[in-house]
Chain A
Amino acid sequence: MHGVQGLLSRAGPLICGAALLLGTAVPAAAAWATTGTGQGAVSARTMPQAAGATATCLGAGSVRITWSASTLATSYTVQRSVAGSAWTTRGTATGLSYDDPVASVVALSVRWRVIATRTSWSGPASDPTATRTVGSLSCA
């Protein structure tokens, strides 16, 4: 009997401690909330200049204009200047080349340039290609 009593007397405080732990509500750690109102910033890109425009004779009556891909561009506008005249738009391409018929141009100096576009945005025109002397019978 003494052995059992001794065991109970030793276990008593432990049981009481466990009961306290189980029975006592632990207060929740309350976190304070805070807010702020102010300015932030975001900016817009700029349409890059098309680059690497090159004019290659395909034979008499046609010239192929090629260029490098431009970030953001979804299409390209090709323009032509004949004998130093104002630039006129020849057409658009979604790829990286455009074949321009030149049969109606008779032995005159011609240059091309390319403008990268995306929806309503357009970039600066590329540097002009080297001059080609083209016509219905020749391209050089």
Chain B
Amino acid sequence: MFSWTFALLLPAGVGLALWSATGSGTGPAKARTAQALVMTAGSAVADLYPGATGDVRFSVANSNPYPVTVTSGTATAITTVTGGLGTCAATDFTLGTGSVASTVIPANGSANVVLTGALTMKLATGDGCQGATVNVTATLTGTQS
């Protein structure tokens, strides 16, 4: 009985090679632009009564891929007054500048932000403003964190 054994013999120094490739050139790389925070009215808390100052609450969405820390805010206008017992108008309130405690909005997330002391109800405000909800326009400013 005979059996044959085949072997592949390679010269010394010759190995199996994997292909590789390199190249150089130019291509576009475009930087992102910071996306604006999107603000909607948060759950209002009944802070106001004649002579009292209230906090304006926002829900703030951050569509950037990085967290944003809100560091300042300014109330700019009284937009609507609704839901009081009777007649109640923007003139029954005084707009303040307010202040914001540093608040982190997660990347692609949202958080509640409070603009403290942004609105005062005038002392002579009548019963019509009992239970009213006041919507306030404001601008918040933050930085990447």
- The stretch of B2-10, B13-21, B22-30, B130-138 that contacts the partner chain: B130-138
Contact among A31, A32, A42 for B119, CB-based, below 8 A: A42
Interface of A is mostly: strand
Q: CA of A72 to CA of B127 in the docked complex: distance in angstroms?
A: 13
From B83, B119, B130, name the one whose CB has the most chain A CB atoms within 10 angstroms. Answer: B130
Chain A nearest CB from B88 CB (Å) reads: 8
A44 lies within 8 A of B131 (CB): yes
Q: Are A42 and B48 in contact (CB-based, < 8 A)? A: yes
Tell me the total A-B contact number using a CB cutoff of 8 A.
155
Query: Which B residues from 39 to 61 make CB contacts under 8 A with A?
Result: 39-51, 54-58, 60
How many residues of A are counted as interface, with CB atoms below 8 angstroms from the partner's CB atoms? 23
B positions within 8 Å CB-CB of A: 34-51, 54-58, 60, 62, 64, 66, 68, 75-76, 79, 83-85, 88, 115, 118-119, 121, 123-127, 129-145
Prevailing SS type, chain B contact patch: strand
Q: How far is the CB of A27 from chain B (nearest CB, A)?
A: 15
Residues in B with CB closer than 8 Å to A32 are 34, 64, 66, 143-144
A36 near B115 with CB under 8 A, answer: no
| Nearest CB on B from A97, distance (A) | 24
Whole-angstrom distance between the alpha carbons of A36 and B141 in the complex? 7
Instruction: Give the shortest distance, in Å, between A76 (CB) and chain B (any CB).
Output: 16
Q: How far is the CA of A51 from the CA of B125 in the complex (A)?
A: 24
